[in-house]
Every structure is written in structure tokens, then in C-alpha cells.
Structure 1
Amino acid sequence: MRILHVLDHSIPLHSGYTFRTRAILRQQRVLGWQTFQITGPKQGASTQDKESVDGLDFYRTPAARGFKARLPALRQLAVIDALEARLLQVAREVRPDILHAHSPALNAIAALRVGRRLGIPVVYEIRAFWEDAAVDHGSSSDGGLRYRATRAMETYALRRVDAATTICEGLRADIAARGIAPGKVTVIPNAVNIADFSVGGARDEALAAQLGLDGKVVLGFIGSFYAYEGLHILLEALPGIIARRPDIRLLLVGGGAQEAALRAQAEALGVAGHVVFTGRVAHDQVQRYYDLTDVLVYPRVKMRLTDLVTPLKPLEAMAQGRLLVASDVGGHRELIEDGRTGVLFAAGDPKALADQVLALLAAPQRWEALRASGRRFVEHERNWAASVARYVAVYNSVHPGVDAERAA
């Protein structure tokens, strides 16, 4: 089986999107399938037509050009056109059995055009509705013209592809509400590679001292600083937490659009001395920062994006047997069982966040069970081998002959 994956972007860029892609590709190869990968113009400029990263080859697409690319209203069409042209070249070279496009819909439409031309079935994977992410990033307004156009493009693609997958039940329900037959959509959930994570990593005391965290209780967040992550809620909760536990420090590892605003907020709240901003760290160094953290906090705000989409970071925390506190948005509730694998609080409520953090820290008798339950959950239900095995039925539905026995 030869599968050509059509992607928005890939490693070496770091994001939940690229890490999920890498995990899928590696596991599909374990199953004996041949995978090929192409990224669209949004990957950014590249000096190579084909780039090898972590043992995976990615065909790159040049930037969109021409009058469409110069006009904001037509720029997305230019991206589709550029990807279509490059995808046609690559598909003719590698001769795939299936085109597997991944969010956003621009990739699916380019794949549909090439699939029709070459007679290749198209599978489309929806990882999030990008119109909702655009609202959070401020590049689109909720219900505005661009929002509705992007949503219509997504629905158009879903109706025309041969099969669809998505990452969680929240997204599948929204897709079904658009009139897409439920049987057409398969959930391939986010997962972790258990072998990549161990329980009880040793604290790096030198790093702790360097960051001013020696002898402190550390709350942590490791990831991208997007507005929907709700880190401003975490900062609002911090004065109340520190008032009762002055030994607590907040470790924020990463960066992004909200970093300057968060730094200013910490100063305004008078808690800057209790917050450590590390900036972005190399991926191979992230574990050192996880090992400094006593409780990981995921304070996502409530909106369509966070209610529908399940994040990857809480699964990584559970895989390490770590304590975690998260807001009760839909995406978290699909992953975290309150009081069993983690602790939930009312989204958007700094006092509720503070109360749950303090209650958890005051109850060490609960920690062992929480850590063990979280680890069991990912071991048995959210590992990549089990998740990727679900593609067997999807691919068989559009191209009979996938070796289901081997993939199982």
C-alpha cells in the first residue's frame, strides 16, 4: 500500500500538528505501508525540492505566485493552485494508491483535483476547523465572511472525498451535523508513543537552580502561547495561590503570540518574581523541564475550538505519570476523567483553578492513584499502535486490499 500524505506543514517545524504527523507516518511504516509526504506553501521557503528530516522525506511546494497570491481575497486559491501543481508532479512520480490529505481544507481540495485527474481515491483528515483557530488568532471574526467561506470550503471537501477521519468525537459530531454520513467519518484519536515516556524522571537540580526553582513547588505549562490556551487565566489565579502557598513558582516553557502580553500581565499582577519564562527550548531538552514540574496546568478557555478539539499535551503528561489540572472544556473532558486521571476546574474561572491546584497539593494521598490511572489510560487506550491501526478499515473502504491482518 502506497500512501501520499498531503500536509500543511511538517517537521522540522514544531507543533502538535507536526508531531502527530510524524507519529502517524512512523507507525504506518511499522505496518508495512509505504508513505510519501508533501507539504504546501505554508511550510515556508525551502532551498530543496525534497527534504529529509528524522528519516522521513518531505516533498516541498514553492510559494504561491501570480496575481491571486497578491490579492488577500484570492490568496487561499493561489495556495490551492500551487499545491495542486506540485502534488500532480509528486503523484505521477510515486504513483500512490491513496491520497491522504490533512487539514486544512485547502489541502483536501488540491488532493481532490489531482485525485480526479489521476483516478486516485482521497481520504481527508480533519484535525481542527481552521476557521475557529483563525478567530482565536484574530485573523477572522466569528461568523464573518471569511469564517463562513472557510467553513463552506471544509464542508465542500467533506462531501466529495471518498472517506474522512478526524481526531476526536467532538469534531465527528460537528461534521455529522453538517449532513455528512456518520459512517463516512472515522475517529483516529491523538495518542502517544509509550516508549518515548517514562514515569518518575529525575529532577535536574542544576537546571532548577539556574531557573530559581530549587526548593520550590512548580506549576508548569509547556507548549505554544496561544490565546485559547488560557494562560492569562492561570496568571490571574496565581496571586490567590501564592497567598496560601508562597513556595509556589510558575514555569512557562515555550513562546508564541501571547508571550509579551503574558509578561506584562505578570508584572501588573505583581507576580513576575514567581513566574519563570524560559522561551522556546529545543525539543530534545523538553523532558528536563517536565521533570522540574510538580503539577501541569492546562487552562484552555471555552470556545468552539477547545470544546471540539482534543489536545496532545495532557496525554503526554499522563504518559509520564504526572499530576495535571485542566479546564473543563469539551476537548479536555474527552481525555481526562475528573478525579481519576486528572483534576478539572470550571473554564475561565481563576478562583476555581486556584482552589483545585491548592486542594490537589494538599492531598498527597491522592497522587499515586491519579498518576497510575493516567498512565494506564494512555497505555491501553491512547497509544499510537492502537490508534493508527484504525486506518486499516478506512483505507480498505476506498482501496480494498489493505493487509488488515498484518496491520492488526
Structure 2
Amino acid sequence: MKILLATAYDYPHAGGLSTHVTTLKAGLEELGHQVDILSFSDVPAWKRKALAQGPSFLLNKFKKGKGIVWSHKMRRKFLQGLIEANKQKGYDLINAQDPFTVLAALATGIPTVATVHGYMTFESISKGSLLENSPEEEYMKDIEVQAYRGARKVITVDQRLKEYVKEVSGIDATAVRNFIDIHQFKPNKEKKHEYRKKYGLSADDRVLFVPRRLTRKNGVIYPALALPEVLKEFPQTKLIYAGSGEALDELKEIVEENRLNDHVVFLGAIPHDQIKEFYALSDVVLVPSVHSAGVEEATSISALEAMGSGSPLIASAVGGLKEIVNHQEDGLLVEEKNIKELVESIVYLFQHPEKGEEFAAKARQKIESEYSHISAAKKYESVYLKAL
């Protein structure tokens, strides 16, 4: 098949959707399919800024929510134009990665499958871009329903999203849990000291790594709030964040108030290849997600990458994280926002590194058997064939 993966968001960007698209493309190509990617990034920069991002910023000043609606409408229009301009390539199918792109793809007449990565409307409220109980919220919800009902088939990245799609639109989706490229994300602990030296870290440092976008639903403030207690037991602890987002200012305030500047590193959004080096040099990876405005973590790609990379994982017991981590078998689960539990779990793994190694080995086995990009691509292929 000739397949187009399309999204109204930027590609590539630091985030799970972009990683998903890259990894799915690799899996489908290994199965012999031809795969192209179209995204908002393919629109000329002047158009993006002058017609989508700029007006969106100004409209949001007038009323929160108007900006995001405008932006998404323009992104839909741009994507439809891009797809029309590429129709001569003869795509058999479009796999659209968000509701607005689904509608853009449907307008071109090419068979369309939708992948649902999250709760678009609720996530916009959680981020503060949309007001609850506003006309804009209702508009966004309606777009979701139109997309789910219009697509030939709908795929969700976890079971809860499957239930959500059924609840709001009546459509029976197929749940295919998120996945990773098991050849790219694999244990590499023999390079631990080499990478620490590269990034100015000591062999004696205890390194906590948070590979998350700095947004509210990712619970990124909680490792920083837990750090003062961890430092009482392990004063050489370093907490490293890889990601950007609206929670950065709040995080910096916590660091300043608790005098943690020498112990916290903000890398910002870094290339995906570089993330692998931080998994290798870390002692523990943290995925501290929380409920926010009705949003729960789906099958976290960051958690899967950590489990595939040989790093012991501590995650919040919310959403899809509960589905992928077996507590005290291949990782540790803690109650969301529970700083005391988070501290105890970190200290436990620091005190018992052999237990962390045991968790990590079992986690890798699970990733190979259940979350391979090849097995996921076969499931996507099956859905595509049904759609056609």
C-alpha cells in the first residue's frame, strides 16, 4: 500500500505524537509499504505565522479559546490543500493523527483512518487554551465526533480512549497500544559513564530523568517537590528534565524556593536520538502523570522507551500507565501527586540498585513481546485493509 500519515501539528516535534508517527512509518516500511508524512510544518513558514499562529495569539487575547479554534480551522484548511497537491502520488489511504486532519483528509476523497492519541478538547482545557463550558469547547467536541464518525476506521492508542470514542460518537474503535522501535530503544548501560562524562555528570551522581513535556497533565512538578526529601538521603542526586512547556515557570519557582539550582537541569526539548543517551546514563526514570481536566495519560511512549532502554521506571498509577507497568515486577507505581510515595520509591531504588536492574530486565522482555513497532504495524495494516 501507499500510505500517507498526516497531522495538523508540527512534525517532527518533541512529543509522543511525533514519535508515534516516526515509529509507525518505520514499522510499516519494514512490512513493505510506502509511507509519506505530511504535517503543519510542510506549510510555508510565513503562512503558518501570518494566517494561523499570529491571528490565534491575538484572538486569544480577546477571548481564551477563540485562538485555538482559529488555529485549528486554518491548520485543517492548510492540510487539505497539501493533501490535494499530493494526490497525484496515488495514496491508497490516509492515516490522520488528529480530528481536524481527519476532516481535511475526508474532503479530498481519499479513504481515511483516524488515530486517536488523546482527548483533544479536554487536553486543550487542561493546558489552559480553552475555557470549560464555552461555545468553543462545544465546537471542539463536535469536531471530534464528526471525525470519528466520518473515518472509515478509528484506532485508539489505549482501551480507555476506545471507550471514550464509543461514548461520544457511538463508533467502535480498535485499540492498538502505543509502541516503540525496539531496535532504537534498547539497553545501553555499558555507555553510562561515557555519557555522564559527556554531560558533565559524576559517576557518583544519582540521576533521576523526566523525559516529559512540561505540561500540567504530565505531573512534572512532583519530582521537583520530592527532591528536597531525596537529597536528605542522597545528597548527590541530580534531577534532569527533557522537554518544554507551560509548566516551566512553575518548575523554576519551585527550584528557586527550595534552593535546588545545583541539583536540577532543564535540557529543554532535545532531539529524540539524544534522549536515548539520557536513558542510558540515568539511575531511575520518572513518569509522574496526573489527572487534569478529565485527561489521563494514555499508553505513555516515554514510559515504554524507559522500559525498553534498561532503566527502572517509577510511574503514577493513572490511565494507561497502570496497563503497562506491573507494580513491583517490572517497575513501580505510585499514587498520583503523592510526594511521600514518590520519595519512598526513589529512595528504595537508590538503596536497592539490584532490584532496579531486575525490574528493568523484566520490563525489556515485556517491551520485546508486547510493544514492538513491527507487531503494532501489523495491527495497523490489518485495520487499513478492513478500511479499504
Fold match by TM threshold 0.5: yes
Partner of 1:402: none
Which position in structure 1 is the counterpart of 2:62?
none
Q: Return closer, same or farther for 1:45/1:350 CA change in 2, 3 Å cut-off.
A: farther
Kindly state the Cα deviation for residue 288 of structure 1 after the two structures are TM-superposed: 2.7
C-alpha separation in 2, matches of 1:205 and 1:261? 32
Q: Distance in 1 between matches of 2:279 and 2:300?
A: 17
Structure 1 residue 111 corresponds to structure 2 residue 101: no
Long gaps (5+) in structure 1? 48-59, 400-408
1:303 equivalent in structure 2: 292
- More displaced stretch, 349-358 vs 279-288: 279-288
Aligned to 2:89: 94
Contact 2:195-2:277 within 8 A present in 1 as well: no
Q: Is the Cα contact below 8 Å between 1:170 and 1:307 reproduced in 2?
A: no
Q: What pairs with 1:256-405 in structure 2 (closer than 5 Å)?
A: 256-303=245-292, 306-307=295-296, 309-399=298-388
Q: Any idea what SS the aligned residue of 1:273 has?
A: coil
Q: Displacement, 1:164?
A: 0.8
The one-letter amino acid of 1:154's match is E
Residues 291, 30 of structure 1: alpha-carbon distance in 2 compared, 3 angstrom cutoff: closer
Q: Deviations over 1:188-210 (max 9, x none)?
A: 22111111133224223574485
Instruction: String of CA shifts for 1:246-268, please: whole Å, max 9, x gaps.
Output: 23221223333322331221110
Instruction: Give the match for residue 226 of structure 2.
Output: 237
**8 A contact 1:99–1:121 mirrored in 2:** yes
Could you tell me how far 1:10 is from its partner in structure 2? 5.1
Quote the offset at 1:216 in angstroms. 1.6
CA drift of 1:27 comes to 1.6
1:306 deviation in Å?
4.9
1:52 aligned partner: none
Change (3 A) 1:74 1:286: closer
Q: Distance in 1 between matches of 2:302 and 2:386?
A: 31
| SS of match in other structure, 1:254 | coil
**Matching residue's letter, 2:89:** V
How far did residue 63 of structure 1 move?
Answer: 7.0
- 1:192 is aligned, of 168, 180, 186, to 180
Task: Tell me: CA distance 1:343–1:366, structure 2 relative to 1, closer, same or farther (3 Å).
Answer: same
Cα deviations across residues 194-253 of structure 1 (Å, max 9, x unaligned)? 111332242235744853544121111123222222121111111111122223221223
1:254 alignment partner in structure 2:
243
Residues 201/10 of structure 1: CA separation in 2 closer, same or farther (3 Å cut) = farther
Unaligned runs of 5+ in 2: 60-65
For the pair 1:81 / 2:77, whether they are aligned, the reply is yes
Matches within 5 A, 1:49-68: 64=51
Higher strand share: 1
Distance 1:398 1:63 in 2: 37
Under a length normalisation based on structure 1, what TM-score does the superposition of the two structures give? 0.84
Q: 2:336 & 2:16 partners in 1: Cα distance?
A: 22
Once the two structures are superposed, what CA deviation does each residue of 1:5-36 show, in whole Å capped at 9, x if it has no partner?
A: 22224544332211210111122122222223
Report the counterpart of residue 19 of structure 2 in structure 1: 19
Q: Which amino acid aligns with 1:349?
A: N
Structure 1 residue 149 corresponds to structure 2 residue 145: no
Moved more, 206-215 or 341-350: 206-215
CA distance in 2, matches of 1:217, 1:288: 16
Contact 2:290 2:296 in 1 (8 A): no
Question: Within the alignment, does 1:139 sit opposite 2:135 as a pair?
Answer: no
How much has 1:363 moved relative to structure 2? 2.9
Aligned pair in 2 of structure 1 residues 305, 317: CA closer, same or farther (>3 Å)?
A: farther
What amino acid does structure 2 have at the position aligned with 1:86? L
Shift of the alpha carbon at 1:169? Answer: 0.8
- SS of the equivalent of 2:375 reads helix
* 3-state DSSP of counterpart to 2:281: coil
Match of 2:29 in 1: 29
2-structure distance, mates of 1:195, 1:228: 29
> CA distance change for structure 1 residues 303 and 270 in 2, over 3 Å: closer, same or farther?
same
Is the Cα contact below 8 Å between 1:208 and 1:292 reproduced in 2? no
Deviations along 1:384-403, one digit per CA (max 9) or x if unpaired, are 0001101232122221xxxx
Percent pairwise identity: 23
Q: Aligned equivalents of 2:26 and 2:313: distance in 1? A: 28
Q: Given that residues 64 and 82 in structure 1 are in contact (C-alpha distance below 8 angstroms), is that contact kept between their aligned partners in structure 2?
A: no
Whole-Å separation in 2 of the counterparts to 1:75 and 1:198:
38
Q: 1:121 to 1:391 in 2, by over 3 A?
A: same
Contact in 2 for aligned 1:188/1:388 (Cα 8 Å): no
Contact 2:9/2:39 (CA < 8 Å) preserved in 1?
yes
Residue 46 of structure 1: how far off its partner (Å): 4.5
Deviation at 1:380, TM superposition (A): 0.2
Instruction: Output the CA distance in 1 between the equivalents of 2:195 and 2:381.
Output: 47
CA distance in 2, matches of 1:379, 1:143: 43
